[in-house]
Amino acid sequence: MFFSHVAYAISDKDLTELAKQHTWQKLLHMDEETHRSMVDGKDFFLVEQGHEDAVAELGATVAMMDNVSDEKYLQTICKYPARFFWLSKQLNRPEIEQHIQQCRKLQRWVANNDEVSLILVSGYLGNPASTFGHALLKIQSSQQNKQNILMDTAINYGAITPKNESTLRYVYKGITGGYKATFLDKYYYTQELVYSQLESRDMWVYTLNLNEDKTKLLIYHVWELIGQKFDYYFLDENCAYQLADLLGLVIEEPMVEDVAWYVPVESFRRLEAIDNMYREQGRSKLIKSVTFIPSSQRKLNTILSKLNEKELDSMSKLMNEGSEVTVEHVIRSLTQNEKIHVLDAGLSYYNYLLIKSGLKPSLKAKALKQQILMARFRLPVSPKVESDMQQLASPTQGAAPILLGLGVGHSDVQSTYARLHWSGYHQSSTGDNSLNGDALVLLNLELGIGGKKNAIFLDKLDFIRIRKLNHNQMLIRNHGWAWQMRIGLDRQINQYDGVVAFGAGKTWSVDDTLAFYGMVDVSLHSLQSHLRLRPHLGMYSDLGQVKSLWYVGAENINNKQTYQWVWGGELSYFVASQTAVSLSYQRQETRKASLEARWFW
């Protein structure tokens, strides 16, 4: 007997079989290939070899059960409640749960929480770490009043980075594994403040339908993980990967696969796929509900959209003219109800500005808000009106990020040829995604087959392409900064042109379906002319299944530095959510057109 001295001993064979179980492996975060724990810290294990020996770690845990009167036992059970909770079920030791109830700090942390949600946060191009979106875990009470939701516990997984780390250094170390990462617990309101208020990002809350034992096991294990360190890799072992792996503790089907690229939305696609499978099999659903949490900017847009033309005109003056405006003068021609609407909207707007400014608004903004507040005090209280906020579909309902395209192309260089198009991450302006006219494309490869020389050739390569139109800004100030960048390679007549480009300008949104923008691009080229400027105008439209983006401008392409007209664009028709037909044209150094069928997964 390996543990013959233990009163509740089990044979070596039974111990080995128990250690092989999926749940124990997940509790130790054992990698299926290396059989070593992904947790980087000796204090996560009871024995020195526990990070690579699941049997030894299990044996040490079982051995602790023989010392229930020892103070060290209670300290250990309070540190590793999930392990002991699971073992109590495996070894039929119900009294173990009573011991867990004696862990005061743990029980205060757990409180009345008996429900778990996974939160998808939309992408944010202002921060490299959030470019592809973010994922959070939320622990909550299923019975609590909705007014207390901000006091829920949010679990965030992120890299541990030095203060004032440069963006380039952050990207490099994040990709190459130069950081450690950890799980942190915070009040949910702190996360809502950052993502929804400061960064104006939408969120979708997926509340899970787990039974009582699975919920306890998951919450207890989160307690074990707080502060533990892991290796961090931005492209795969990131927040979404680790949270999905964590959910694998209580979900029987695999949540993550061995992939070179893992974006947050994939965890939620997988959740939905498992949920659909359960429903088809007649089993209990996995997803209890999906709740849309609109960003602060989207909420403000909704408030402004309810104002009539007269109210909008008054609101525009309050927003745009500065502190020299007298509020009473602006609203004097309005009825009492119209005054209430405008002043309520004004307070919402300046509260929005207050948060966006990092609680440091301009003196003019503070003075005008004070005027609005005093004017509102002189009017009756208005009844609370239920919001009719539009429910935005989850990004999981859009096209998946990996693209495969097959089609035909024609250019001045290669005549007519077949096209093979592949992209590792393709969320384009004309794609079926939640980026609302923006684009984020990585590792975009376009190959030609045939042509004049009847060969296979590289037609275009994008290492990275980003476009931020800021479409659908606030209804009154319906223009926002627009910018784009690209690093890639273009095929010219007999050679390739390396390109690094950046552009900035403004966007004017007509409505939800149409926007115009003006931009000036500055680009460096490996071929002459090496430094180029391209002032241009563009139009983006979204008609549901049909999306398009077109531009026209001028660029100093040749050595004489004279400007030539350039124009082009792309139109996409989505036959289904993961299938599209795309038509594109460009007239620059060369003229090029293509028609292709696209599949996304």
Task: Please write the tens of the pLDDT for every residue from 468-510.
Answer: 888 765 555 555 688 999 999 998 877 899 999 999 999 988 8
- Choosing among 3.40.50.880, 2.40.160.40, 3.40.50.300, 3.90.1310.10, the CATH entry for 398-600 is 2.40.160.40
Q: Which residues of 530-544 are buried (b: 16+ CB within 10 A; e: fewer)?
A: eebbbebebebbbee
* Residue 540 near residue 470, CB atoms below 8 Å: no
* Residue 287 near residue 206, CB atoms below 8 Å: yes
Concatenating the DSSP letter of every residue in 388-418 gives ----PPPGGGS--S-EEEEEEEEETTTEEEE
- pLDDT averaged over the chain? 88
**pLDDT tens digits for 51-94?**
999 999 999 999 888 776 677 888 999 999 999 999 999 988 88
pLDDT at 592: 92
Q: Classify domain 115-293 by CATH architecture.
A: Alpha-Beta Complex (3.90)
Higher pLDDT, 83 or 2: 83
Q: Which residues of 497-520 are buried (b: 16+ CB within 10 A; e: fewer)?
A: eebebebebebebeeeeebbbebe
State mean pLDDT over 418-446. Answer: 90
pLDDT at 1: 35
Residue 7: pLDDT above 60? no
State mean pLDDT over 161-178. Answer: 86
Give the pLDDT band (50/70/90) at residue 2. very low
Interhelix angle 239-247/212-225, rounded to 10 degrees, is: 140
**pLDDT tens digits for 277-327?**
999 999 999 999 999 999 888 888 888 888 998 998 999 888 875 556 789
**pLDDT tens digits for 516-567?**
999 999 999 999 889 999 999 999 999 989 999 999 999 998 767 789 999 9
pLDDT at 289: 94
pLDDT at 147: 53
pLDDT at 381: 87
Interhelix angle 336-356/363-377, rounded to 10 degrees, is: 150
* DSSP-derived secondary structure letter, 264: H
- Identical fold for domains 115-293 and 398-600, yes or no, is no
* Residue 47 near residue 56, CB atoms below 8 Å: yes
Burial of 594 (0-12, 13-18, 19+ CB in 10 A): buried
- Mean pLDDT check: name the lowest of 134-148, 205-219, 301-315: 134-148
Return d(Cα 277, Cα 153) in angstroms, integer. Answer: 30
Give the pLDDT band (50/70/90) at residue 229. very high
Report percent pLDDT > 90 for the chain: 55
pLDDT at 250: 96
Q: Is the CA virtual torsion 85, 87, 92, 95 positive or negative?
A: negative
* Residue 230 near residue 246, CB atoms below 8 Å: no
Sequence spans of domains, the chain: 12-110, 115-293, 296-377, 398-600
